Chains A and B, each alone.
Chain A
Amino acid sequence: METRIVTIASAVGLHARPAALFVAEVKRHGIPITIGRPGSKAVNAASLLGVMSLGLKHGEQAELSSEAEGATGALDELVAFLEVDHDAK
């Protein structure tokens, strides 16, 4: 299993818009990926409701995991995605 730890950059946390954009990115990769706080229960990263109800806030750490083949590139891209503030206006 591959895992990555990432700090949430979105200024308002992983809520509506940033969460929807993230879930769309996850679905684009088409492999099973989970997200959660390091060491806690993880949810399906392709689930908008699941991701939002984690309530990940700006500056918090999240853990991405996948057991799928070829997850390395997908996880790296998702880490890079979460390190950008998609709420910025």
Chain B
Amino acid sequence: MKTEHDVSREMQNAFVDGELDRSDWGRIAEQLGRDESLRAEVCEIRTVKDLVRGAYAAPPQAPRLSVAGGRRWTAIAALCLVSAGAGWLLHTAFAPGVSETEAALAEGASLREVSNERVVLHVSSSRRATLQTALDDVEEVLRAAAQRGRRIEIEIVANSSGLELLRAEISPFPARIASLRAQYSNLTLVACNQTIDRLREKGVTVLLLPGVQIAPTALDQIVKRLQSGWAYVRA
């Protein structure tokens, strides 16, 4: 539509979205009072904005989400409530930087320095290098703990494309995983059932490696572990 005034479309949108400074806003507001075509155009923009809002006011929920989603989130919320003092507020106040504990762990030459540690390792990528590094780390930590006679538990939770790690005939490291399992009873492997379902919906037959357990969702499992005091590691 050809405009009869000098208020660009960008300015009209900015007016509707409250993005103008006082003087520009005043100028357009004043012009709106006497320019019918400008008024009509601004009104249309508002209408479009309202339509978009209305169209997504109540988006359809994923089948599982409506039931389990709330519970899952409540679990995360409960988990976060278990506040352990040091972290957030402190390092926000003294930003930049992370808390000493976190920094020590993040540099994390290893988990070996953490006593009585239980770790959930979340794998959500099928990148070979990522999986390789994850398994290297797991093996190193398990071996070091065994040498020192220190009890440690590691659980690998795989979802999304990371599930490939635990799939028979797909996993790039089946023999290595089998040998780790045979050697360390304190290593558990968990597959996300939601990912399995999604693959099945696409007609993919999902076979898991021997000994792999199944959790309803990766998030459920991770939250469950965090609630019991496990540390969370992302591969």
Tell me whether A and B are bound partners. no
Question: Chain A residues in contact with chain B, CB under 8 A?
Answer: none
Question: Chain B residues in contact with chain A, CB under 8 A?
Answer: none
